[in-house]
Structure formats: C-alpha cells, structure tokens
Amino acid sequence: MYWHWQGMCLLTLSVSLPSLKPPECHEMDVTKCKKATTLQLGVFYGALYILAVGGGGTKPNISTIGADQFDDFDPKEKAYKLSFFNWWFSSIFVGTLFSFTVLVYIQDNVGWALGYGIPTIGLAIAFITFMAGTPFYRHRLASGSSFTRIARVIVAAVRKRNVNVPVDSTQLHELDVEEYRKKGKFRINSTHTLRYYDLSDSLLIFFVLKIFLSH
C-alpha cells in the first residue's frame, strides 16, 4: 500500500508542478505543441510503473489479510467474515462509481491536480488507518513454501499415474473431520476438476494443490 501511495503522490506532482509537465497547448495541430522533456516523461511513466507494482502487491493481499482476521470455526466470527466481504466489495463498487463520475468531472472541468489529489489524500488516510491497526491484526504463521508443496503433489501424481483413484473421495484424506476441526483446518473435498492430482492423495498424501487453488 505504501508504494501504491507513493505512485499516486508522484503522479499528482507530475500533473501539478509546471516543471514536471509540458506547457498547455491550444494549437489545433498538436505537432506544433511543445513536447514533454525526458525528465517529465520519466517522472510520469515512473509514477505509473510504481502504481502498477504497488497495486499488484496491495489488491490481492488486502482481502486475504481481512479474511484471516476471522475464525471460520466460530459461528459469530464466520458471520462477521461474510459481512466484511460485503462491505469490501461494496466499497470497491462505490469507489469505482465515484472515480468514473465525480473525479472525471473534476479532472475535465476543474483541474488534473485536484482530480489526482483527492484519491492521493484518500489513499494516505487509508494507509494511516491500516498501519494504526497493525498491533491488533491476526497473523498466520508461515508454513513453508506453497510452490514446494505444489511440486510434491505433482511429482506424487506422476509417480502414481497407474494407481486407481478411489471412488469414495473421503479415502483421499488421512484424517477424519474431527481431527481437522481440532487442528483448526478445513478438509477440502474432492471435485470433478483436476482429477489427475487425486492420484497423489490415493496413498494418504495431503491434497495440497486443491487447497492452494481454493484460496
């Protein structure tokens, strides 16, 4: 989120400071307008790339962190989790509507500086709010590399390609439902997709690939 905000700050500066943007041009023939300098282009495209990196790191993880704050085995917290996602997606839709209406109007009729300044200030408030809540967040402990577990499932499936997959999908798990519940984990039942990787489960190996893809 920090880099996302930094990108917005730089983009706002590039449309606000005279030294970072080419002069206005009212010529009908745009080829007669003064071109942007190397510095101006570098700042502008640099801001866009920083925004892309920041957004790519923020958007996939914020909702995941939010979901981790709730215990799915607690009925009350499970309900709160559903409410969280309702508010999460509602805020995205409201923000998108605001961007395509109010902000576009401001940029076209008032100025680009204010049009970019408003979301920059909003992002700064969101970043401060997010950081202020850090001591209260629940953090899941690291459990190794997901890529290693995926590779183990693929290798196991290839080695057992001639093994018959059980018709009863419950035989693909080494623990019963109660054991999973005690350990605070979910048992991911078999599906009709990626059936080939069920081979890795046929000899009591964890169904890691489907667990990874389900998240």
Nearest CA to 7 out of 127, 102, 129 is that of 127
pLDDT in tens, 122-141: 889 988 988 888 888 887 77
The whole-number pLDDT of residue 101 equals 92
User: Which alpha helices (H) appear in the chain, and where do they start and end?
Assistant: 2-16, 38-68, 75-98, 104-109, 112-132, 146-159, 177-182, 208-214
Cα 215 from Cα 211, distance rounded (Å): 7
pTM for this one?
Answer: 0.64
Check: CB of residue 88 under 8 Å from CB of residue 63.
yes
pLDDT in tens, 162-185: 766 666 666 665 566 666 666 666
* Residue whose structure tokens are 């495209």: 45
Residue that wins the pLDDT comparison between 121 and 141: 121
Domain parsing of the chain, residue ranges: 2-136, 146-214
